[in-house]
Structure 1
Amino acid sequence: MTVESTAARKPRRSSKRVSAAKKPQSSEPQLVQLLTPEGERVEHPEYESYVSDLSAESLRGLYRDMVLTRRFDAEATALQRQGELGLWASLLGQEAAQIGSGRALRDDDYVFPTYREHGVAWCRGVDPTNLLGMFRGVNHGGWDPTVNNFHLYTIVIGSQTLHATGYAMGVAKDGADSAVIAYFGDGASSQGDVAESFTFSAVYNAPVVFFCQNNQWAISEPTEKQTRVPLYQRAQGFGFPGVRVDGNDVLACLAVTRWALERARRGEGPTLVEAFTYRMGAHTTSDDPTKYRHDDERAAWEAKDPILRLRTYLENEILDKGEVEGFFASLEEESDQLAKRVREAVRAMPDPDDMAMFDHVYADGHALVDEERAQFAAYQASFAEEGK
């Protein structure tokens, strides 16, 4: 199994960079971009300095992060199809948005994710196998949020933005210079919780970054049915800045998120970052996107693949000819090892106690819960009787 597309491209080594201000106008939305879909490095007058420290090793690291995250995601999808997971929410196509923003964070920053931030979890050092327990039904989240400053996955749409805002207000009152980041999607941006978060964070000048991954589809609902203006412009009405970034450009996502986090740490309040990207797969494994979108739409976005564009840049501008083959081959082997570890870990997870879900509903017990427990026990016992 390959970790990403290996479409042949002719090397074109050149140190030239195109100024973003001189790029020809197109029908594409105006956004911050540092790496074009063709793998060409461009400069941006405002955000260039935020990635000026990146070495060749750092760039290889960003590529490795995206490739391994995609392989883990593909393996989890396959495990669900094989009946090992009850559900899976894929991040396919959103690797640059997650890895770029995730690598912009400091250790003391705090993250409030949704249920799709597998790449951010990777950046925070959360073991990928821990993400799968909830989707297998064996726990409510297999990690301690205080160890990596990465909160448990949030299934309720948009509620984590309120949690992030409250936490950020607390950080400010404590006098800390750390920042908070909240992830959500374009669909969640229509939730009242998100609007309330914007209001409170602006009024209290909370050090929080709202990172919206606009992947164009809220399950089957397109973005144009949710808003009349680009999502990042909503921030203006609440009194803080918003910026739209190319969500398939890992360098731009890194730069813009660094800028927003530094604003927060300096006490300048919240920022809304809209990462303009695309959900290449289904909303979850229970969804069928062929029912509501066309194949040519996905094909157009495949040409903007975040991993392929960074690979092209590495091959043409960063890696020496002698190290190209070895680097990609080694990464392929590492991805195979990761996939094997994930499969083994999932299949080794113990089944939870069927009756445990009744134990902690009420501290002192409840007659209705006792009745439901007895009914469920009888239901479970009926299968054993049928098997005799």
Structure 2
Amino acid sequence: MLPSLEPVMLLDPDGRPTAAGKASLPAGEELLRGLAGMVAARRFNEQAYVLVRQGRLAVYPSSHGQEACQVAAAQVLADDDWLFPTYRDTAAVVARGVDPVEALGLLKGDWHSGYDPYERRVAPLTTPLATQLPHAVGVAHAARLRGESTVVMAICGDGATSEGDFHEALNFAAVFRAPVVFFIQNNQYAISVPLARQSIAPSLAHKGVGYGIPGEQVDGNDLAALLTVLSGAVERARAGQGPQLVEARTYRIQAHTNADDATRYRTDDEVTEWVAKDPLVRLETYLRAEGILDDARAAAFAEAAEEIARRTRDGLNRDVEPNPDDLFRFVYSRPTSQLVDQLAVVHDEMSRDALSREEDRR
């Protein structure tokens, strides 16, 4: 039940197979699919940051540097599985198949979730830390009661492990043997609070032991290791072995959001050290050395990523006329009397404003 003493690593930062990697690397096509996803995720992050500066997004929490975690979390799931993301997991949401423009709807401030959660089985992006974890356990438990083979991937960050919802979710999942994989992206900071100020456990993966949940830690910048560890956790959960806990050691290269000044709490040398562990460079180096990746395929990946960026840019640059009714229409399937009254107030105020503008024109 205890995790390994060191994070599982199959490719070292220089792209060379480790001793474990020489025996258990995923197939070349799986790694190529992962590289394509990471190239797209990196370009998506870059485009979203530009859109923030242009005023088209209110805020953007970038996953630059965490692309291997984002892509692996989506890649190991079957079509009938569920993904429960956090606010930083837009790249994983896109990798799962959600339209990139819709994936950014919440961060633009359009409406509730920005996309239909049931279409791709992706829960809404969540801003409050860890609140999605009990929901993920509930979905997994319900699927088990119905006799379905569904597995839920519940993502959170290191900061979320300090929240009560995290502990409640793990305890409930363990007691009811819910088929859920808790995937912690440990990017070393909860905004400005370093991990050392949050926990003195040997690793966050060790936290599963107290609930009877097996844990594992993995190099979060090694896509090959992530695919191996996460796919194993998913299959164990699917086979009825209950919840699994995986901690990925990675790093948030950019600031917490565009509103954050990361230089106030971390050094340039620290960031530079992690830049050298870039997950894209690591995997591409290995694939080229093995003759699995050539220039033509790399160019195709870049072109596909640029197309996603273009669609995102074009979609976010379109002005959308908001419908105030949407604030009330999607709260309950049958609106409560309070919502009906509130909607009437909004309509009355809009009518008064329209009448006032008409009088001003006269």
Partner of 1:272: 245
Tell me which of 41, 52, 60 is aligned to 2:17.
Answer: 41
Partner of 1:259: 232
Partner of 1:283: 256
2: CA distance between counterparts of 1:168 and 1:282? Answer: 33
1: CA distance between counterparts of 2:211 and 2:119? Answer: 33
Against the structure 1 CA distance between its residues 383 and 193, is the aligned structure 2 distance closer, same or farther, given a 3 Å change threshold? Answer: farther
2: CA distance between counterparts of 1:345 and 1:90? Answer: 19
Partner of 2:205: 232
1: CA distance between counterparts of 2:248 and 2:356? Answer: 51
Q: Which moved more, 1:63-72 or 1:350-359?
A: 350-359
1:285 Cα offset (Å): 1.6
1:104 aligns with 2:80: no
Q: How many aligned positions are there?
A: 354
2: CA distance between counterparts of 1:278 and 1:382? Answer: 53
1:374 Cα offset (Å): 6.6
Tell me which of 229, 246, 271 is aligned to 1:298.
Answer: 271
TM-score w.r.t. the length of structure 1 is 0.83
Tell me which of 325, 348, 358 is aligned to 2:318.
Answer: 348
1:300 Cα offset (Å): 0.4
1:73 aligns with 2:49: no
Which residue identity does 2:9 align to in structure 1?
Q
1:148 Cα offset (Å): 1.3
Which residue identity does 2:154 align to in structure 1?
A
CA deviations on 1:282-331 (whole Å, 9 max, x unpaired) are: 11222111121111110000000000101111221133xxx733223333
Against the structure 1 CA distance between its residues 359 and 299, is the aligned structure 2 distance closer, same or farther, given a 3 Å change threshold? Answer: same
1:1-388 matches, within 5 Å, as 30-44=6-20, 49=24, 51-52=25-26, 54-55=27-28, 57-229=29-201, 230-319=203-292, 324-353=294-323, 357=327, 363-365=336-338
CA deviations on 1:159-200 (whole Å, 9 max, x unpaired) are: 111011111111211122221110000011111011001111
Which residue identity does 1:240 align to in structure 2?
I
CA deviations on 1:342-361 (whole Å, 9 max, x unpaired) are: 11111125131357536777
Tell me, what secondary structure is at the counterpart of 2:206? helix
Against the structure 1 CA distance between its residues 119 and 43, is the aligned structure 2 distance closer, same or farther, given a 3 Å change threshold? Answer: farther
Give yes or no for contact 1:358–1:373 (8 Å, CA) kept in 2. Answer: no
TM-score w.r.t. the length of structure 2 is 0.89
1: CA distance between counterparts of 2:14 and 2:346? Answer: 59
Against the structure 1 CA distance between its residues 34 and 363, is the aligned structure 2 distance closer, same or farther, given a 3 Å change threshold? Answer: same
2: CA distance between counterparts of 1:69 and 1:227? Answer: 30
Tell me, what secondary structure is at the counterpart of 1:67? helix
Against the structure 1 CA distance between its residues 232 and 289, is the aligned structure 2 distance closer, same or farther, given a 3 Å change threshold? Answer: same
Give yes or no for contact 1:70–1:95 (8 Å, CA) kept in 2. Answer: yes
1: CA distance between counterparts of 2:361 and 2:214? Answer: 63
Give yes or no for contact 1:141–1:152 (8 Å, CA) kept in 2. Answer: yes
2: CA distance between counterparts of 1:244 and 1:255? Answer: 12
2: CA distance between counterparts of 1:150 and 1:177? Answer: 17
Against the structure 1 CA distance between its residues 37 and 385, is the aligned structure 2 distance closer, same or farther, given a 3 Å change threshold? Answer: farther
1:106 Cα offset (Å): 1.3
Give yes or no for contact 1:213–1:247 (8 Å, CA) kept in 2. Answer: yes
2: CA distance between counterparts of 1:383 and 1:305? Answer: 55
Residue identity (%): 40
Against the structure 1 CA distance between its residues 258 and 383, is the aligned structure 2 distance closer, same or farther, given a 3 Å change threshold? Answer: farther
1: CA distance between counterparts of 2:137 and 2:296? Answer: 45
Against the structure 1 CA distance between its residues 135 and 386, is the aligned structure 2 distance closer, same or farther, given a 3 Å change threshold? Answer: farther
Which residue identity does 1:311 align to in structure 2?
E
Against the structure 1 CA distance between its residues 368 and 350, is the aligned structure 2 distance closer, same or farther, given a 3 Å change threshold? Answer: closer
2: CA distance between counterparts of 1:387 and 1:215? Answer: 56
Partner of 1:15: none
1: CA distance between counterparts of 2:77 and 2:88? Answer: 18
RMSD: 2.8
Tell me, what secondary structure is at the counterpart of 2:248? strand
